[in-house]
C-alpha cells in the first residue's frame, strides 16, 4: 500500500513490458529480453534495460560500458554501473585497468581498498602503504576487500602501535567491542594492558571502584578510566562521581580532560536532578563551559521553581541562543512569576512569541487566552517551475520505478534530482511528491528548501479513514494519532529505525506482539502494512493514555521512552506544572519528541476542522510529581495571579 496514487493504478503498456523483459532475463530467455528491450528503446527506463544487458556479459564488453557512460553521463544507474564495473577488475586481477578507470567521485570503502591494492600491485607500494592508515584507523570493521592491503601494512614500517590504540578507542566509541578486542592483538606493554582494561570498563564500569586494577605506573590507564566513567554516567552519574574522586588525583589528567569528565558527570547528575547538580555545574571553569551547561542550569532551576536563577542563567546564554523560542518563553515566564518586569513588557513579548506556529508559540497563545496561530502559506512556485521539475528525467524515472514497485531505485533517482536543485526547485519537488502521495519525500524536500509554512505538504493526512476508525475504536483524537505517525515516520510505511521499530507508527516487534495479544488479534501480519500498524499503534497509545490518567504529554513521552521511565520521572519530581515537567524531561530526544507531537497535534486539530485547536486540554494542565495534590495549590495561585496580571491589560 505504498504510494496509493501511483502503485494502485493499473500498469501502463510500457511498465508491463518492462517487467516482462526483466522476468524474461531472470528466466534465461535472453532473446525475448532483447526483443522486449528493443521495443522500449524510447522508454524512460530503457537505460536500466541496457544496464542489465551489460551486466549479463559480466562487464566484459568494455566498449559497450564506455558507450553507456558517454550516453548517460549523469544518472543513478550509471553510477551503479561504474561501481560494479570497477569492482569486477580486482576479481580478475586486472589492477592496471582498475587504475585507468578509477573515479575518486565514486567513493566507497571497498573501492578505496581496491585502489590501494591496485597501487601496490602495479609497483607503487610506498604510495599504497602511506595511504592505508586512514582506512584502518576507524571505529568500524572494514570490507573484506581491505584485508590483503591491511595484512601487508600491519607488518610494514608504516604501521605504529599508536594506530591500534587509537582504533580501540574509536571502536569502543561506536560500541564495537569485538573490533576493539581484535585491535589489541597489535599492541604491547602498557598500551595493551590499558586497552584491555578499557574494554573491560566498557562492559563493566563497576571495576572503576578498584584503584589496584589501574596502576599509576601505566600512563595509558587514564584513558581506561575516562572511558569507564563515560559508560557509568549514562545510568549512574552518582557512582561515576564517586569513581572519579578515587582516580582524579592518581593520574596527570590535563585541565581539558578534567573539565570534560566533570562536565559529563555533572550534566548526568543534572539530568537526574540531583540536589548538588547546580552547585557542581557552577564549579566548572567558565572558559570550557558550553551552552549545554547553561541550559541544564536553567532546567534545574525550573525544576526547583527558582525563578530568579532561571532569569540569571538565561541571561548568560549567547544572544542568539537567548532569543530561541524556548528560552524566550521561559525568560518572560520567570519575569512574570516574580513581577519583575512591567506586565506590558511581558505581554508584548508573549504576544510576539504567540505569532509563531510552534510549541512555544502555542504555549504563549494559551497563556494569553487567545487562539493558536496556524498560518498556512503554500509553497510559492510558478506553474513553469512545477512543470520543469515534474519533467526532469530523474523524476520521470522515479515515478515509473515507483509505479512498478522498485522503491530503492526510485529513491536513488529522486536523490539525484534533489542534489541538483536550488531552493525553488526543491519547493517544486515537494509539490510533486505531495501530488504523488509520497509524503515523506515531500516533507523532506520542503524542509530542505527551508519553507516551513505549507501545512498541506508538511502535515498531510494519508489513510484518513484508517486513522479515523482507529481513533474511534480506542477513543482517542485522530489528530493525536496523525501527530504520532508524522513524528515517527513522516508517513513512510516502510520506515525502519536503527533500533528495529517499523512502519507508520514505528512499533518495535516485541511491543507489537504484546499489544496484539492484549487486544486479541493475530500478530502475524506485517508491521509495514498501514492498517495493521495503525491499529496496533493506536491501541498501544491508548494503553499509555489510560495508564497516565488521560494526559497526552505523559502518554506521548511513554510512547517514545517507555512507560517505566515516565513513571520514574514523575515519582522523582515535586509538583510541577505541565510545561515545566515537559521542559525538564531528562532525555533530550524525548523532550523534543513530546513538544513536536503536541504541536503537531494542534496543527492536525486545525486541519481536521476543530474550531479551537488546543495545545493542552484543561484536564492536562495539572501538577505532576510527588505530593502533587498537596503542593499544587500555592503554585496554581501564583500561576493564576501572574496570568491575571496579563489579562488585566
Tens digit of each residue's pLDDT (9 = 90 or more) over 529-557? 999 999 999 999 999 999 999 999 999 99
Q: Kindly tell me if the per-residue pLDDT of 571 is higher than 60.
A: yes
> Which of 209, 208, 169 lies closest to 191, judged by CA?
169
Cell reading at 194 = 590499558
Identical topology for domains 4-131 and 464-645? no
pLDDT digits (tens, 9 = 90+) for 468-508: 999 999 999 999 999 999 999 999 999 999 999 999 999 99
Task: Name 577's bridge partners.
Answer: 623
Q: In sequence order, what are the residues at sequence separation of 6 or more whose Cβ sits closer than 8 angstroms to the Cβ of residue 462?
A: 4, 437, 439, 491
Domain boundaries, the chain: 4-131, 464-645
Whether residue 632 has pLDDT greater than 60:
no
| Chain segment 407-449, per-residue pLDDT in tens | 999 999 999 999 999 999 999 999 999 999 999 999 999 999 9
- The DSSP bridge partners found for residue 576 are 624
- As a whole number of angstroms, the distance between CA 323 and CA 143 comes to 47
Q: How much is the pLDDT for 630?
A: 45
Average pLDDT of the residues in 548-576: 94
Domain over 4-131 is classified CATH 1.25.40? yes
* Residues acting as catalytic residues: 488
pLDDT band, very low/low/confident/very high, at 647 (cuts 50, 70, 90)? low
Give yes or no for a contact between 546 and 538, defined as CB atoms under 8 angstroms apart: no
Phi, psi of 56 (to 5 degrees): -60, -30
Residues 347, 333: Cα–Cα separation, whole Å: 10
In tens, the pLDDT along 404-413 reads 999 999 999 9
The architecture (CATH level 2) of 464-645 comes to: Orthogonal Bundle (1.10)
Residue 572: the pLDDT is 86
Q: Flag whether pLDDT at 627 surpasses 70.
A: no
b/e burial code for range 96-106 (CB count within 10 A of at least 16 → b):
ebbbebbeeee
Whether the predicted pLDDT of 197 surpasses 90: yes
Task: Give yes or no for a contact between 534 and 466, defined as CB atoms under 8 angstroms apart.
Answer: yes
1 — pLDDT class (breaks 50, 70, 90): very low
- DSSP secondary-structure letter at 371? P
Angstrom CA distances, 374 to 252, 329, 377, 483, 544, stand at 57, 18, 10, 15, 28
Residue 340: per-residue pLDDT: 73
Q: How high is the mean pLDDT of the chain?
A: 93
Q: How many CB atoms lie within 10 A of CB 220?
A: 18
Share of the chain above pLDDT 90, in %: 88
Q: Residues with Cβ < 8 Å from 565, sequence gap 6 or more?
A: 557, 558, 587, 590
pLDDT at 638: 46
Per-residue pLDDT tens digits for 323-332: 899 999 999 9
Given a contact cutoff of 8 angstroms between Cβ atoms, the answer to whether 139 and 170 are in contact is yes
Tens of pLDDT, residue by residue over 372-393, are 999 899 999 999 999 999 999 9
d(CA 112, CA 132): 9
pTM, to two decimals: 0.92
User: Could you give the angle at which helices 407-418 and 393-403 cross, rounded to 10 degrees?
Assistant: 160
- How many residues in the chain? 649
d(CA 269, CA 299): 12
| DSSP string of 54-104, one letter each residue | HHHTTT--HHHHHHHHHHSTT-HHHHHHHHHHHHHHHHTT-HHHHHHH--T
Which pLDDT does position 84 carry in this prediction? 96
d(CA 409, CA 611): 43
Residue 122 sits at the vertex; the CA angle it makes with 120 and 126, to the nearest 5 degrees, is 40
For residue 577, what is the enclosing H or E element?
A: strand 576-577
Mean pLDDT of the region 80-85: 96
- Report the chain's C-alpha Rg in angstroms: 30
Q: What is the pLDDT of residue 6?
A: 61
Per-residue model confidence (pLDDT) at position 642: 52
pLDDT band at 276 (very low <50, low <70, confident <90, very high): very high
Q: Are 337 and 307 in contact (CB under 8 A)?
A: yes
At residue 322 the predicted structure's pLDDT band, cuts being 50, 70 and 90, is: confident
Q: Which of 384, 376, 386, 383 is nearest to 428 (CA)?
A: 386
How far is Cα 347 from Cα 308, in angstroms, rounded to an integer? 19
> CA-to-CA distance for 171 and 190, rounded, in angstroms?
19
Q: Which segment of 111-125, 237-251, 337-351, 591-605 scores lowest on mean pLDDT?
A: 337-351
Q: What is the pLDDT of residue 639?
A: 56
Residue 51, C-alpha cell as written in the block: 544496464
Place of cell 532525555: 587
Q: Residue 573's pLDDT is what?
A: 80
Nearest-angstrom CA–CA distance, 524 and 518 = 14
Give the pLDDT band (50/70/90) at residue 172. very high
Amino acid at each position: 500500500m505504498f504510494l496509493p496514487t501511483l502503485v494502485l493504478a493499473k500498469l501502463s503498456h510500457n511498465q508491463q513490458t518492462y517487467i516482462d523483459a526483466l522476468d524474461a532475463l531472470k528466466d534465461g530467455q535472453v532473446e525475448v529480453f532483447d526483443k522486449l528491450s528493443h521495443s522500449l528503446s524510447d522508454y524512460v527506463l530503457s537505460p536500466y534495460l541496457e544496464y542489465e544487458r551489460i551486466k549479463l556479459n559480466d562487464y566484459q564488453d568494455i566498449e559497450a560500458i564506455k558507450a553507456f557512460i558517454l550516453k548517460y553521463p549523469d544518472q543513478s544507474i550509471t553510477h551503479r554501473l561504474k561501481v560494479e564495473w570497477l569492482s569486477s577488475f580486482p576479481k580478475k586481477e586486472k589492477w592496471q585497468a582498475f587504475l585507468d578507470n578509477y573515479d575518486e567521485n565514486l567513493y566507497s570503502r571497498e573501492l578505496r581498498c581496491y585502489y590501494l591494492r591496485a597501487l601496490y600491485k602495479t609497483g607503487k607500494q610506498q604510495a599504497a602503504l602511506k595511504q592505508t592508515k586512514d582506512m584502518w584507523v576507524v571505529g568500524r570493521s572494514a570490507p573484506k576487500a581491505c584485508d590483503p592491503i591491511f595484512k601487508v601494512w600491519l607488518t610494514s614500517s608504516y604501521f605504529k602501535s599508536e594506530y591500534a590504540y587509537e582504533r580501540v578507542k574509536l571502536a569502543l566509541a561506536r560500541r564495537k567491542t569485538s573490533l576493539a578486542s581484535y585491535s589489541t592483538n597489535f599492541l604491547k606493554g602498557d598500551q595493551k594492558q590499558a586497552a584491555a582494561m578499557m574494554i573491560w570498563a566498557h562492559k563493566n564500569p563497576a571495576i572503576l571502584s578498584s584503584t589496584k586494577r589501574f596502576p599509576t605506573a601505566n600512563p595509558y590507564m587514564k584513558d581506561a578510566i575516562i572511558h569507564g566513567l563515560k559508560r557509568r554516567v549514562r545510568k549512574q552519574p552518582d557512582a561515576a562521581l564517586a569513581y572519579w574522586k578515587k582516580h582524579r588525583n592518581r593520574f596527570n589528567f590535563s585541565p581539558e580532560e578534567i573539565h570534560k569528565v566533570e562536565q559529563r558527570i555533572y550534566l548526568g547528575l543534572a539530568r537526574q536532578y540531583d540536589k548538588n547538580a547546580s552547585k557542581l555545574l557552577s564549579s566548572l571553569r567558565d572558559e570550557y563551559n558550553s551552552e549545554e551547561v547553561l541550559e541544564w542550569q536553567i532546567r534545574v532551576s525550573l525544576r526547583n521553581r527558582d525563578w530568579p536563577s532561571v532569569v540569571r542563567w538565561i541571561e548568560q546564554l549567547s544572544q542568539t541562543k537567548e532569543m530561541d523560542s524556548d528560552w524566550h518563553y521561559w525568560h518572560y515566564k520567570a519575569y512574570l512569576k516574580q513581577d519583575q518586569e512591567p506586565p506590558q513588557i511581558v505581554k508584548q513579548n508573549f504576544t510576539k512569541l504567540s505569532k509563531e506556529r510552534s510549541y512555544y508559540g502555542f504555549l504563549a497563545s494559551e497563556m494569553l487566552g487567545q487562539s493558536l496561530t496556524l498560518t498556512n502559506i503554500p509553497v510559492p512556485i510558478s506553474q513553469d517551475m512545477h512543470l520543469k521539475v515534474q519533467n526532469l528525467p530523474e523524476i520521470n524515472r522515479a515515478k515509473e520505478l515507483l509505479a512498478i514497485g522498485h522503491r530503492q531505485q526510485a529513491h536513488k533517482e529522486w536523490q539525484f534530482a534533489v542534489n541538483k536543485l536550488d531552493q525553488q526547485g526543491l519547493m517544486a519537488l515537494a509539490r510533486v511528491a505531495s501530488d504523488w502521495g509520497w509524503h515523506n519525500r515531500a516533507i523532506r524536500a520542503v524542509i530542505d528548501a527551508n519553507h516551513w509554512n505549507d501545512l498541506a505538504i508538511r502535515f498531510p493526512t494519508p489513510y484518513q479513514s484508517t486513522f479515523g476508525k482507529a481513533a474511534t475504536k480506542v477513543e482517542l483524537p485522530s489528530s493525536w494519532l496523525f501527530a504520532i505517525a508524522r513524528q515517527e515516520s513522516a508517513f513512510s510505511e516502510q520506515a525502519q529505525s536503527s533500533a528495529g521499530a517499523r512502519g507508520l507508527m514505528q512499533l518495535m516487534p516485541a511491543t507489537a506482539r504484546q499489544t496484539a495479544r492484549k487486544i486479541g488479534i493475530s500478530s502475524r501480519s506485517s508491521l509495514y502494512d498501514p492498517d495493521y500498524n495503525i491499529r496496533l499503534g493506536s491501541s498501544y497509545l491508548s494503553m499509555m493514555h489510560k495508564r497516565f490518567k488521560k494526559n497526552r504529554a505523559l502518554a506521548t513521552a511513554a510512547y517514545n521512552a517507555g512507560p517505566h521511565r515516565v513513571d520514574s520521572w514523575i515519582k522523582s519530581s515535586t509538583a510541577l506544572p505541565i510545561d515545566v515537567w515537559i521542559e525538564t524531561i531528562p532525555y533530550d530526544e524525548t523532550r523534543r519528541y513530546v513538544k513536536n507531537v503536541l504541536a503537531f497535534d494542534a496543527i492536525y486539530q486545525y486541519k481536521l476542522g476543530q474550531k479551537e485547536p488546543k495545545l493542552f486540554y484543561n484536564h492536562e494542565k495539572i501538577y505532576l510529581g510527588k505530593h502533587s495534590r498537596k503542593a499544587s495549590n500555592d503554585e496554581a495561585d501564583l500561576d493564576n495571579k501572574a496570568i491575571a496580571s496579563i489579562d488585566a491589560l
